[in-house]
Amino acid sequence: MDAYLDNAILRLNTFYGHGDRIDWNRPGAREEINRLEGLVTESFLRGDIQAYINAVDKLERCFKEVKR
């Protein structure tokens, strides 16, 4: 997973250029992704479909920001 994130960070920084680099290695960034993955797993195991859909949507938005 770290290789994927490192590649995504490179693409994101290339997209934003030198003046506006976003550092996904900053404190809290990886923790947020881990938290969202935990929400997805937890809601799936509970069988709470709406919470699962919401958690997946949040995780997808997070990854879309990284993949730009």
- pTM comes to 0.57
Mean pLDDT value across residues 43-50: 93
Quick one: pLDDT at residue 45? Answer: 94
Containing structural domain, residue 56: 2-67
Quick one: pLDDT at residue 14? Answer: 63
pLDDT tens digits along 4-45: 777 777 776 665 555 444 456 656 667 777 888 899 999 999
When divided into structural domains, the chain yields a total of 1
Is 12 exposed, middle or buried (CB count within 10 Å of its CB: 0-12, 13-18, 19+)? middle
CA distance 15 to 12: 5
Q: Which two tokens stand for residue 55?
A: 């958690």
Higher pLDDT, 13 or 49: 49
